[in-house]
Structure 1
Amino acid sequence: MLNNWPEFLKDAFGAIGALAKDNPKILQGLQTIEGGAESKGALDGKTRELIALAVAVTTRCDTCIAVHASKAVELGASREELLETLAMATALNAGAALVYSSRALDAFDQFAKK
């Protein structure tokens, strides 16, 4: 296990909450941007979360991996779908994405065990 992802996510939300308390406009701005990405359209929520996981891998954002792995599990993503998504991220980002794909897979497996 590379990380305790549920605990990591809890701690990350605590740190982000402290930042948002001291400067609420940061979180408000992000929520505005995320609102556009979450609108219902051609892609379902599960597909959007898998895309978000691929982007999280390529940008090397552990908190993003935890958030979107958790949401992908909640929305019914399968491990096979995740593996195909991670293959695309790896193909587009080569070695760095391969390393972070192992982190996303580790996170996904831990959230799936709940």
Structure 2
Amino acid sequence: MSWSDKLNDTRGQLRGLNKSIPDTTRAFGALGKSVKEGGVLDFKTKEFIALGIAVAMRCEACIVLHCETLVKAGATKEEIGDVLAMTIQMGGGPSMMYAAKAQECFEELSAG
């Protein structure tokens, strides 16, 4: 399955969840908005952190959503590489395997 397919599947799954538990998903969305708009770090830096956590937690759905956001935010392949290197340093072998997935995802989604 391509990362674009994974992105579409993830969006579909989230739409289904939104219908099942709208109050919870709205509250989670409000939390995300608050975190991304507040504080001293810029939006792209926060998304880099989110991608690192997604890799360390081995969440492919999170990886594809944050890669898409980083593509839209203008992240470069080199910036992604730095984030993935730091994630590998902190998370060891399992993070290295998911870092490879995240790099592949970013490259596919940024190719358009």
What's the TM-score bracket when you normalise by the shorter of the two chains?
over 0.9
Distance in 1 separating the partners of 2:69 and 2:15: 19
Distance in 1 separating the partners of 2:73 and 2:63: 15
| Runs of at least 5 residues in structure 2 that lack an aligned partner in the other structure | none
Structure (1 or 2) with the greater helix fraction: 2
Measured after TM superposition, the shift of residue 95 of structure 1 is: 0.7
User: 2:52 is aligned with what amino acid?
Assistant: A
Q: If the length of structure 1 is used for normalisation, what is the TM-score?
A: 0.91
What residue in structure 2 maps to residue 99 of structure 1?
97
| Runs of at least 5 residues in structure 1 that lack an aligned partner in the other structure | none
Between 1 and 2, higher relative CO (CA 8 Å, sep ≥ 6) is seen in 1
| 3-state SS of paired residue (1:38) | helix
Distance in 2 separating the partners of 1:110 and 1:26: 32
Q: Which contiguous aligned blocks of 4+ residues in structure 1 show a shift greater than 2 angstroms?
A: none
Distance in 2 separating the partners of 1:110 and 1:15: 21
Pairs aligned (count): 112
What residue in structure 2 maps to residue 66 of structure 1?
64
Q: 28, 33, 36: which one pairs with 2:34?
A: 36
CA deviations 1:46-84 (Å, max 9, x no partner) are: 111111110100111111100110111111111111011
Distance in 2 separating the partners of 1:53 and 1:91: 14
RMSD: 1.2
Q: 1:1-114, aligned counterparts within 5 Å?
A: 3-114=1-112
Measured after TM superposition, the shift of residue 40 of structure 1 is: 4.1
User: 1:108 is aligned with what amino acid?
Assistant: F
Q: Percent identity?
A: 31
